[in-house]
Every structure is written in structure tokens, then in C-alpha cells.
Amino acid sequence: MPSNNDNSSRNERRRHTRHPISKPVRTRAKTREHTGKTKNISGSGVAIEPNADMDHDGLVEVEIEDVGTFSGRVSRSSEEDDLYAVSFDFDKYEQEQLIADLTEMHDDIVREEN
């Protein structure tokens, strides 16, 4: 049986590629507002740095510069990694559009680096 520190089962559950795209981001939840930057974005959510005092499983609006505004829920918070993660709440069409946009952004970044 895998230990709690084993990330292999978590990695197997991931359905979408994480794109290491850094963009300014603003989140709003109830009366809290936070600004930071994305660490990575996928078709199902985003990791945001630095960590903020957001309620786990709380509703949040995420505005990512040059990407869009999404509704979601805080799915994870890590003081150790200084980030929190938001899982997006959207339909299949919106998800497919985001994945296409992220793939294009990632490809543009790779081309610029070469």
C-alpha cells in the first residue's frame, strides 16, 4: 500500500497536462481579494503563488491575465510550497477551449525560448 507521501497515485489521477505558465492573477472570494502569479495551469485548475488565506473548498473567482476569468473552488493550500490551488467549475466546452488556449500559449513560449 502506498504511503501518504507517494505522489504516484495523485499523478495517475491527473487528467490534464499542467502548463508551467506564469501570469499575473487576481482571486476574489467573499470579502477577500488576492493577487499573485500562476505557477502552472491545466484544463482543470491552477496553482497560484504565493499562498493566501482562502477557505478550503470555498468558492473563488480567478482572473488570469491574457487567459480569462473562471469560477472554481480552493482545492489545496500549502504553506510549505507557498501556493494554493483552485479547481475550475466549468462545462466541457469551456474546458476544451482553455486546453487549446494553454497549449497555444505553451507552444509560443517554447518557440520564443528556441
**Under CATH, what is the fold of the domain 15-113?**
Thrombin, subunit H (2.40.10)
Q: Are 37 and 20 a contacting pair, CB within 8 Å?
A: no
E-strand spans in the chain?
Answer: 24-29, 32-41, 45-49, 59-64, 68-78, 83-88
Query: In DSSP terms, which residues pair with 61 in a beta bridge?
Result: 28, 71
pLDDT tens, residue by residue, 42-89: 999 999 999 888 888 889 999 999 999 999 999 999 889 999 999 999
Q: Can the peptide bond before residue 50 be classed as cis, meaning omega within 30 degrees of 0?
A: yes
Measured distance CA(8)–CA(91) in Å, rounded: 27
Domain residue ranges of the chain, discontinuous segments joined by + = 15-113
**For the whole model, what pTM was predicted?**
0.80
